[in-house]
Amino acid sequence: MVPVSAVGARGGSAPPRSNDPRPRLAQTLFGVEFQSPVLLASGTCGYGREYDGLIPLDRIGGLVTKAVSVEPRTGNPPHRIAETPAGMINAIGLHNVGLDRFISEKLPWLRDNLERARVFVNVVGRTVEDYAEVVSRLDVEEGFLGYEINVSCPNVKGGTMFGTDEAALAELVGRLRTCTERPIVVKLTPNVPDIGVFARLCEEEGADGLSAINTFPGMLIDVDRRRPVIGNVSGGVSGPAILPMGVYLTWRASRASSLPIMGIGGIRSARDALQYILAGASLVQVGTALFVDPSSAEAVHEGLEAHLERHAISSLTEMVGALELPAPPPPDAGTSG
């Protein structure tokens, strides 16, 4: 278990230099070393084992598991996924095996087969107590570092998403803080007027980090059938189309909070990842790109190494939040005399 006091600030710190002359992607965050800033995003890599043999998981930074809820969920009716011009739309419905089977069937593989990759368990629920039960029961287990809390879930009691209701979110994060000393990373929804307000709230309630961002709501229509393409009518849009929004909202969250951020949304290359990093993210998650090329996360890792070497940057930590904004114009700029 990682004590809260060990959690690093955003950007973390570079581990002590070794004799390896290559640029360092490693950072110390949440009290541990991440050998790479690149993780696999929840919902795109199953429970990790599904990618065994496809990519060397212990070479990248880690992964976030598929959602885990108290009870098994069968998810939404088909179609659940459809391609869009610059990404995809999905409405899986948080289909998962449930907490009991995750502990007995999925977690042992992560514990026994991953040595350096850091694992976060994505947690979902319908009530605060649902989330608390998952975290409390998992907390005695081994094989993972911390939790990514998916707050884009409807609150059964309140009828709104936890992630869009300040009071509901504060209650949830505060409650989970009493359940664990492991890192709690809140996955923010983009569907709020000011993401900075929610980033600050998470920090005030004891969260250790943020994931920015979850998918955007969207809809596709089959014009011949005059019906929605997705069985659930609407779904979450991901992929390259949301990259600019994800980078912007990561920047906004980083300006409002000192918590480490995992940037998510449309990352296909090292240059995509670097946009998030310059905007304030310490880690990044590759998701939809994995469906096109399972090796894309490893390619992002290698591309980051190459960028640092090419620009003679000794550590990735030098780039976290290093965005340079243009100077504001003088007060009388644009006025005529």
Q: Which residues are catalytic?
A: 153
Residue ranges of alpha helices (H) inside the chain are 99-101, 107-113, 128-138, 166-177, 195-204, 243-256, 270-279, 289-292, 296-310
* E strands present in 17-164: 27-29, 32-34, 38-40, 62-64, 81-84, 87-90, 118-123, 146-150
Cβ contact 112:144 at 8 Å: no
DSSP string for residues in 196-254: HHHHHHHHHTT--EEEE--PEEE--EETTTTEESSTTS-EEEESGGGHHHHHHHHHHHH
Query: What does the alpha-carbon distance between residue 140 and residue 8 come to, in Å, rounded to a whole number?
Result: 23
Query: What does the alpha-carbon distance between residue 144 and residue 1 come to, in Å, rounded to a whole number?
Result: 9
Beta bridge partners of 285: 39, 264
- Among the listed residues 44, 40, 34, 41, the one whose alpha carbon sits nearest the alpha carbon of residue 56: 40
- Give the SS3 label for residue 174: helix
Query: How far is CA 287 from each of CA 34, 113, 123, rounded to the nearest angstrom?
Result: 19, 22, 17
Cβ contact 75:99 at 8 Å: no
Cβ contact 297:264 at 8 Å: no
Beta bridge partners of 149: 123, 186
Cα 20 to chain centroid, rounded: 30
Note the residue count of the chain.
337
